[in-house]
Amino acid sequence: MKNVIEQMLSRYEIRNVNDERNAMKEVIQEAILSGLAKADFFSAAAFYGGTALRIFYGLDRFSEDLDFSLLEPSPEFELTKYFSLLSDELDSLGLNFTVEEKKKSISTFERSAFVKGNTREHLLRFYPSNAYDVPYNELIKIKFEVDTNPPAGFGCEFRTLLLPTPCKIRIYDISSLFAGKIHALLCRNWSRIKGRDLYDYLFYLARHAEVNMLNLKEKLADSGLISADTVLDKKYLTELLDRRFQSIDYNQAKNDVRPFLRNPDTIEIWDADFFISATHQYLEFCFNNYEI
C-alpha cells in the first residue's frame, strides 16, 4: 500500500528534477494546511492567494507561499502556538521538516514562518533516480504568512481537503480572491515584476469571476491608491487597470512567471493591448456595474 505522500505525488506528471521539486513542495503545502486545520487555525483565519487558487480552484501554475488573513484584526496574534501540532502532522507523514518563526527587524502586521527540510533527503525517498543531481545542502523552504490586520469586506467559505488527511479549510471566496489579485496588480511594488499576478488575473477573467468591490475598495484605500471617499465603479476601475497595463515591462513579466508554468507558450501573446482588450471584454459582459 502506498504511503499517503507517495499517493499524493502520483498525481503529478514528472519530466525532470524541477518537476520533482515542485511536486514535493506542493504536497508539503497541503500537509501544512492539514496540520494547521488540526491545530484549529481556521477558526481564526482564512487561506487566500495563489496557492489557495491552485489547490481549490485548479490554477495551473506552481505557487510558492501560503498566505492567510485573520477573520478579525488582532495585533497580539501569536502564530507560534500552532507550531507544535503542525510539526506533529509533518512528522506523522514521515516528513523531516522544522517550523521556524521568521523574526522581523521592524514591526509589521504580518506574522511569518518557514517550514524547512532538506531537498535531497526527501527526493531520495520519493524520487531516488534524480536526487543526487540536487546539491546536498539545498532546502525545501515554504513560507507561510498571516495578515493580522486585514482590510474589511472579504467573504469566506469552507472547502474540503482530502489528502493527506481529510479536513476543512476556510478560504476566501472567489470574488474576494479576485479582489486581492486586482489589488496586487494595482498596488504591488513592481521593481521586481510579478508576471504571476498577470497570469492569475487572466485565470479569473476566463472564469467570469465576480469582483468583491467592497473588499477591493478597502484594500486600495488601505494601500493609499484611493481615498476612503472615492467612488469605485466600473469606469474608474477600468481607468486604473488601463494605466497599469500600459506601464508594465511584459518581457520582464514573462520571465518572472515562465519557471512556474508547464506550458509557457501561452504567455507569448502578452502585451498592453492584449490585457486592456481582455479587461474591457470582461467588464462589458461579466461585471455587475455598481459603485462602492
pLDDT, one tens digit per residue, over 95-121 is: 999 999 988 767 788 999 999 999 999
Q: How confident is the model at residue 72 (pLDDT cuts 50, 70, 90)?
A: very high
pLDDT band for 166, please (50, 70, 90 cuts).
Answer: very high
Q: What was the pLDDT predicted at 131?
A: 81
Which long-range contacts link 94-97 to residues 24+ away (Cβ below 8 Å)?
Answer: 94/3, 94/5, 94/125, 95/5, 95/28, 95/31, 95/122, 96/121, 96/122, 97/28, 97/140
**Strand order from edge to edge, sheet including 139-147:** 98-101, 110-118, 139-147, 66-70, 45-48, 167-172, 156-161
pLDDT at 1: 38
Strands 167-172 and 139-147, sheet pairing: unpaired
Residue range 182-225, pLDDT digits in tens: 999 999 876 667 899 999 999 999 999 999 999 999 999 999 99
Is cis: bond before 164, omega within 30 of 0? Answer: yes
The answer to whether the CB of 53 falls within 8 A of the CB of 29 is: no
Query: What percent of the chain has pLDDT above 70?
Result: 96
The predicted pLDDT at position 130 comes to: 79
Give CA–CA dist 241/150, Å, rounded. 23
Q: What is the C-alpha separation between 7 and 20, in angstroms, rounded?
A: 14
Return the CATH architecture of domain 4-172: Roll (3.10)
Kindly state the average pLDDT of the residues 235-241.
95
pLDDT at residue 33 tops 90: yes
Q: What's the confidence (pLDDT) of residue 290?
A: 58
Q: What is the structure's pLDDT at 288?
A: 63
Tell me if residue 141 falls in helix, strand or coil.
strand
- 167-172 and 156-161 as β-strands: parallel, antiparallel, unpaired? antiparallel
Q: What is the average pLDDT score of the chain?
A: 92
Which parts of the chain fold into alpha helices (H)?
4-9, 17-38, 50-57, 83-92, 119-126, 174-187, 195-206, 213-222, 234-246, 250-257, 272-286
CB 93 within 8 A of CB 33: no
∠ at Cα 108 (117, 152), nearest 5°?
A: 105
The cell for 87 is 510539526
What amino acid is encoded at 281 in this protein?
Q
Residue 233 has pLDDT above 70, yes or no: yes
**Domain spans, the chain:** 4-172, 175-286
For the cut 60, the answer to whether the pLDDT of residue 2 exceeds it is: no
Residue with cell 462589458: 284
**Average pLDDT of 8-34?**
93
Set of cell numbers at residue 91: 512528522
Asked if residue 270 has pLDDT above 80, the reply is: yes
Rounded to an integer, what distance in angstroms lies between the CA atom of residue 72 and that of residue 179? 18
Phi and psi of 168, rounded to 5°? Answer: -110, 130
- What was the pLDDT predicted at 172? 98
Least confident of 76-80, 131-135, 140-144, 200-204: 131-135
CA 229 to chain centre: 30
- Compute the radius of gyration of the chain from its Cα atoms: 20
Give the HSE-up count for residue 123: Cα atoms under 13 Å, Cβ half-sphere: 25
Residue pLDDT, tens place only, 247-263:
999 999 999 999 999 88
Tell me whether residue 198 is exposed, middle or buried, using C-beta atoms within 10 angstroms of its C-beta: 0 to 12, 13 to 18, 19 or more.
Answer: buried
